[in-house]
Chain A
Amino acid sequence: MTETLAGYNFAYLDEQTKRMIRRAILKAVAIPGYQVPFGSREMPLPYGWGTGGIQVTASIIGRSDVLKVIDQGADDTTNAISIRRFFARTAGVATTERTAEATIIQTRHRIPETPLQAGQIMVYQVPIPEPLRWLEPRETETRTMHALSEYGAMHVRFYEDIAHYGRIATTYDYPVIVNDRYLMRPSPIPKFDNPKLDMSPALQLFGAGREKRIYAVPPFTKVKSLDFHDHPFAVESWDEACSLCGSTESFLDEVLTDDRGGRMFVCSDTDYCRTRRDGEAA
């Protein structure tokens, strides 16, 4: 336990604000995939750098929680360090890099390779919560489209991709239908991670601070990636294996090693990679 920040409440936010956010979370859990507006606060970290996720985490975290923070799958990326430090400083909670040990995992752009367990909570940082935003910039319009389940425009866009490129050209933040009802953005995770959303035993919470929305996928909820019968959803694959742990099943980052075309591939999930190298069961 580190010494917490003097003059501020546990986990920074005041208790009234936390209660307001928890109410939004409860509503989000009750209506899977529905974006609940909430009175997002200014945080001491910039908008677009995880303020939604931070507010969700701050509202649910307790003294006995163990927090893991990842960015791009890694615990040691600078923004993940900054957010982990923020909670160590304001809440004094234990932090970990081990997926299996964490009770709350705040993430940007990845879902850990290690399967999540019941009782764990994933908190996703969301830049743009609205899946229809690139098709319709107006909130007044998109809210109506959701109310009517009018998602044909997204299928049309995918169809146009296929006509143009021969395949669906969305690779990350790939839209999903949650619980057969709401179209949802899974946040900018690679589509590689989409299957992990489906029927996950963990509670998955999504926070968009700047856009002031919270949404959720409760445990064991159906999450289907949008596709066509003749163009089924498929994830990325690599011809290479991880150069460090040899995994052929994880999402690989391409690392440039020189300026003459040299490159290598390593796991994006640093904890998964290290656990495998340490010889433990992943």
Chain B
Amino acid sequence: MYVAVKGGEKAIDAAHALFARERRGDPAVPELDLAQIAQQLGRAVDRVMIEGSIYDPELAALAIKQAMGDLVEAIFLLRAYRTTLPRLAVSLPVETDHGLVRRRISAVFKDVPGGQVLGSTFDYTHRLLDFALAAGTKLPEESATAEPIGAAPRVADILGRDGLIEPPPTGDATPGDLTRQPIEFPADRDLRLQNLARGDEGWLLALGYSTQRGYARNHPFAGEIRIVDVAVEIVPEELGFPVEIGEITLSECDMINQFAGSETAAPAFTRGYGLVFGQAERKAMAMALVDRALRARELGEPITAAAQDEEFVLSHSDNVEASGFTQHLKLPHHVDFQSELDLLRRLRAEHDGKIGSAAE
């Protein structure tokens, strides 16, 4: 005798208990603490903060631990927490021209005022598995520290002085916020950039890469990549002057792209821009490539490739949405499936009937 499946509630509890045990692993191995994750898995923490849209290394570390290292799941945890937070203030725009430079490179000039600062990077390391690291880190004798950037004009601004590059966008309009108002198409650049900054790194990397391979090629040069610690300031209403509330690390990319011009405007380089939390220059560069591709409409370029199609790019960039909807296919669909079965059986019966009558 068939008994309708019951006990889902118990099954859920048991599954979660099993997961908790599995996450802990062998109790003989010391448990990870959040400081270890925040300090030693910093790039993972940065990615979770960027796509989770909240700057808090400790919470990101907790999310990574809770998600067993599944970063998209950790991003989801952080986003779900973020929604519940009140908005106490809006900061002043951060100035990436000031602050401590951890890294600053330009690919378009051999040297630039302020200098090239290689900083901490995977670049130029040979990707050889370091078996010695398995036994523990031997700290090098001394390491350079971040320095105040001082007077280091932006590379794009240097080009701008001669009018060789389009001027940066101006205007004091309050930027939109797609976490409060759903995005509408066509979307302005402020919302596009917000979407890309929160967007899945893999998605942006693939789309940015596609532009380099000829799908909306726009001849990019890495004008400048900066990783910089900047102060965040707010102006409390009761004080009326800015107060520093903390410091964050940002990765910024100014991409310089092929010229645009018209009968009235002289040809000039165009810009693509990327800005993300933490040290994540691959994401910042990919974002700058996609930002530039999405400016096709504004620059009067033909829209021929996926990376230029804003509805396509922006509607599918969010990995919390994508992961949820892809995985919702795990949920029971047996009612709809029953309706499809019913239809298919009828169609097959009719088909068999037709074949039968044709043979007679």
Interface residues in B305-333 (C-beta closer than 8 Å to A): 311, 315, 320-321, 323-328, 331-333
- Segment among B4-12, B37-45, B153-161, B230-238 that sits at the interface with chain A: B4-12
Task: Tell me if B181 counts as interface (CB < 8 A to partner A).
Answer: yes
Return the chain B residue nearest A257 by Cβ. Answer: B2
Q: B357 to chain A: which residues have CB within 8 Å?
A: none
Chain B residues within an 8 Å CB radius of A273? 4
Contacts of B321 in A (CB 8 A): 47-48, 210
Closest to A73 in B: B335
A74 contacts B331, CB within 8 Å?
Answer: no
Q: A14-B86, A212-B182 are known contacts. Are A49 and B328 too (CB-CB below 8 A)?
A: yes
In the complex, chain A residues whose CB is within 8 Å of the CB of B7: 76
Q: Is B336 an interface residue (CB 8 A)?
A: yes
Q: Which of B74-82, B90-98, B210-218 contacts A (4 or more CB under 8 A)?
A: B74-82
- B83 neighbours in A (Cβ, 8 Å): 17, 41-43
Q: A37-B182, A81-B12 are in contact. Are A42 and B320 (CB under 8 A)?
A: yes
Does B122 interact with chain A (Cβ within 8 Å)?
no
**Chain A window 1-45, contacts with chain B (Cβ cutoff 8 Å), 1 for yes, 0 for no:** 000000011001010010000000000000000000111111110
The answer, yes or no, to whether B84 is at the interface (CB within 8 Å) is: yes
- For the complex formed, measure the closest distance between the CB of B48 and the CB atoms of chain A, giving whole angstroms: 14
A255 touches B80 (CB 8 A): no
**Do A42 and B328 contact each other (CB < 8 Å), given the known contacts A74-B4, A109-B335, A212-B182?**
no
B184 proximal to A (CB < 8 A): yes
Q: Which listed segment binds A: B135-143, B165-173, B339-347?
A: B339-347
Q: Does B21 contact A (CB under 8 A)?
A: no
Answer whether residue A46 sits at the interface, using C-beta atoms and an 8 A cutoff: yes
A200 CB, nearest partner CB in chain B, Å:
19
Q: Does A165 contact B (CB under 8 A)?
A: yes
| Set of chain A residues within 8 Å of B332, measured between Cβ atoms | 71-72, 77-79
CA distance A254 to B346 in the complex (A): 16
Determine chain A's interface SS by DSSP, over half rule: loop
B324 touches A78 (CB 8 A): no
Within 8 A of B (CB), among A206-241: 210, 212-213, 236
Give chain A residues whose Cβ lies under 8 Å from the Cβ of B347: 165-167, 169
Question: Size band of the B side of the interface?
Answer: 35 or more
Known: A74-B4, A165-B347, A255-B2. A268 touches B342 (CB 8 A): no
Q: CB distance B84 to A12 under 8 Å?
A: yes
Q: How far is the CB of A31 from chain B (nearest CB, A)?
A: 17
Flag if B328 contacts A78 (CB, 8 Å).
no
Residues of B1-44 whose CB lies within 8 A of A: 2, 4-9, 11-12
Q: How far is the CB of A186 from chain B (nearest CB, A)?
A: 12
Contacts of B181 in A (CB 8 A): 37, 39
Select the stretch in A152-160, A177-185, A187-195 that faces chain B.
A187-195
Instruction: State how many angstroms separate the Cβ of A47 from the closest Cβ of chain B.
Output: 3
List 22 A-B residue pairs with CB atoms under 8 Å apart, sorted by A's residue number: A8-B84, A41-B179, A42-B80, A42-B320, A47-B323, A49-B328, A71-B331, A71-B332, A72-B332, A73-B335, A78-B8, A81-B9, A110-B335, A140-B311, A166-B350, A213-B182, A236-B339, A236-B342, A254-B338, A255-B2, A268-B335, A268-B338
Q: Which 9 A-B pairs have the closest CB atoms?
A: A48-B328, A47-B324, A46-B324, A171-B339, A48-B325, A212-B182, A172-B336, A44-B80, A42-B79
